[in-house]
Each structure stands twice: as structure tokens, then as C-alpha cells.
Amino acid sequence: MSDNTDKVKPVDRKVPDAQAHLDNVPTTGHSWDGIEEYDNPMPRWWLYTFYACIVWGIGYTIAFPAWPMISGATSGILGYSTRGELAQELDAAQAANAAINEQLVSVAITDVADDPTLQQYAVNKGAAVYRTHCSQCHGSGAAGAVGFPNLLDDAWLWGGTADAIQYTVMHGIRNEDDPDARYSEMPVFGEILSEEEIEQVAHYVYTINGRDAIDPELAQLGAETFQYECAACHMEDGSGNVDMGAPALNDAIWLYGGDLATIIETVTYSRYGVMPNMGARLTDAEVAAVATYVHGLGGGVTESE
């Protein structure tokens, strides 16, 4: 019995000979493990984009500052300057705040809090001034460091009222640039007292804030030396004197350290911290603003105190 079923013949399709095509493409000459890199032309869209970038780059160097020279860069035909743009923005900000800055300078710093708008402006402006000019020494959080006072506590060498802080910021401490700078100087007792007397008075100062004496006998001997040599500035009870910038010794706050070795070093060689007169760097409004900000950090005391 014959099979009459139609047999489907495969359709002949012409398949491009890819290998034959690639054989006609030159290579770059590179070969890795027998694999060669073909040197096909770049897509035209990529080439056009590349050429456009070159043209744009040339135009940019002509129009804007670009090529470095000996004393600066080429200015460009448009005369654009990022510094000039910033200066314009700063001038605009100064003009916008001129009225309130004038108001801030015209009122006593103790009266700033009476105007909520002025107080808010002074605190915000003062915070920016503090971060720029004060945080390097007193810390970003105003907690201070060894030799740099903490502005968050109630211990103030020269007074913590708003106007006292303003004066300190304006004129500084022991600098040579401002004749009105706050000034005091602790004697170098290493040139006045013997090493034995210095050790004795250091032992006494160690105990003046209520700590137990390391050597009670030396502390007792140092009490008399303290009254003769130190009480004139630090007071008989060690409470200090803000009018002279003499720190209190009867609390737990130590600017340079309160361990016995540090106290001996301080008495022997003295300390001479310097603060610049910020009035030479800041405007009167900025001084008033940063003083208001510092007074409000939590450590400033009120006028009644």
C-alpha cells in the first residue's frame, strides 16, 4: 500500500555568511588567547556627538574663564566670574538685611531679647558667625578644649553677661592689636617661689574645691603661701575675680587641667591665653549677633547674677 501523504520539502533560505563578512574586516592587531579585536568604524551618531563636544569645549574656553596663566586664568569674552557672582549675592543679602542690622547695632544688647524678631535674627546670624570665626578654638558645640574656655557652663573669666561677652568678643584678650583688650597676667612663680613652695601651694590648690588632699601636710603648708601670693587675684576662698580675669579655683572647672602635675606646671610657668579682637574682623552687627548667640547657649548669666 503506497503512502500518498505529501512530503513537505524544506524551504531553501540564504543565510548570510557572517564569517565571510568578518574576514573582510581589519583587526586592530591585538590578540588575547587567540581572540582578535576587530577594527569596526565608530557609529556615526557617536562621532557626531564627539565632534559637537569638541566644538562646545572650544567655545566654552573662549567664552568663560578656562586657561590657567601665571597670575590667574583667562577671563573669557563674557567676563563671567564665580567670585563676582558670589559678591553680588552677598551684596544683595547685605542690602536685604541692612535695616535689621542697623536696628541690632542701635539697641543695647541687653534689650535685644525684648524684640522676638530681632532676637531670632541675632541668634541665627550669630550662629553662622560663631561657626565661621569661633568654632576653631571653642569647638563646634562650644564645649571648648584645653586652654580654650567652655562657653556652655557658668564659669566666665571676664563675666558672662551679654554686654560682658560683647566686650570680650569686640576687643579680645591679651592681644597686641587692641589697646582696649582685656588684660591680666599671672606671675611666673617659678621665678618667685622655690620648687618646694610651689609644690606646697599646688597641693593646697588641689584641695581648694573640696577634693581630698594627696599630701595633707604639704597642703597645709601651701595654704599660707596661697594667702600671701595668690589670694589677691583668686580671692581667699579661691572664688576668682572676673574683673581681673582670675579663674575660680574652688570649682571643678579647669581651663588647663586640674591634676596635681598640671597645677604645678601652671604655677611654675604661668598661662597666657590670647583671644583676637574680633571687632577688627567682624561688623558691629556681627559682634552683637554672636554675643547674643553665645549668651543664649546656656552658660550666659543674667544681669542680676
CATH code of the domain in which 247 resides: 1.10.760.10
Percent of the chain whose pLDDT exceeds 70: 91
Shared domain for 102 and 215, answered yes or no, is: no
Q: Using an 8 Å Cβ cutoff, are 190 and 197 in contact?
A: no
**Residue 201 — very low, low, confident or very high, per pLDDT cuts 50/70/90?**
very high
Shared domain for 300 and 230, answered yes or no, is: no
Shared domain for 167 and 290, answered yes or no, is: yes
Q: Evaluate if residue 190 carries a pLDDT over 80.
A: yes
Q: What is the pLDDT of residue 192?
A: 96
Please state whether the predicted TM-score (pTM) of the whole model is above 0.85: no
d(CA 102, CA 95): 11
Q: How far is CA 196 from CA 12, 117, 124, 264, in A?
A: 116, 59, 52, 11
- Name every residue whose Cβ is closer than 8 Å to that of residue 64 and which is 6 or more positions away in sequence: 76, 78, 80
Q: Using an 8 Å Cβ cutoff, are 283 and 101 in contact?
A: yes
- Closest among 249, 233, 250 to 241, alpha carbons compared: 233
Residue numbers in the known binding site are: 134, 137-138, 186, 230, 233-234, 275
**Residue 305 — very low, low, confident or very high, per pLDDT cuts 50/70/90?**
very low
Residue 87 domain flag: no
Q: What is the pLDDT of residue 19?
A: 59
pLDDT tens digits, residue range 166-182?
Answer: 999 999 999 999 999 99
Residue 190 domain flag: yes
Shared domain for 284 and 218, answered yes or no, is: no
| Mean pLDDT to the nearest integer, 58-81 | 90
Shared domain for 149 and 170, answered yes or no, is: yes
**Cell numbers for 233:** 587675684
Residue 178 domain flag: yes
Q: Using an 8 Å Cβ cutoff, are 138 and 144 in contact?
A: yes
| Mean pLDDT to the nearest integer, 285-293 | 97
Look at residue 28 and give its three-state secondary structure: strand
Domain membership of residue 112 as a residue range: 97-183+276-304
Residue numbers in the known binding site for heme c are: 134, 137-138, 186, 230, 233-234, 275
CA dihedral (230, 231, 236, 241) positive or negative = negative
Residue 140 domain flag: yes
| Mean pLDDT to the nearest integer, 1-16 | 56
**Residue 119 — very low, low, confident or very high, per pLDDT cuts 50/70/90?**
very high
Shared domain for 134 and 179, answered yes or no, is: yes
Q: Evaluate if residue 157 carries a pLDDT over 90.
A: yes
**Residue 9 — very low, low, confident or very high, per pLDDT cuts 50/70/90?**
low
Q: Evaluate if residue 38 carries a pLDDT over 50.
A: yes
Shared domain for 111 and 243, answered yes or no, is: no
Number of independent structural domains in the chain: 2
Residue 42 domain flag: no
Shared domain for 297 and 168, answered yes or no, is: yes
Q: One-letter amino acid identity for 210?
A: G
Q: How far is CA 243 from CA 77, 160, 163, in A?
A: 61, 12, 14
Higher pLDDT, 35 or 270: 270
Shared domain for 190 and 260, answered yes or no, is: yes
Looking at the DSSP bridge assignments, the partners of residue 182 are 173
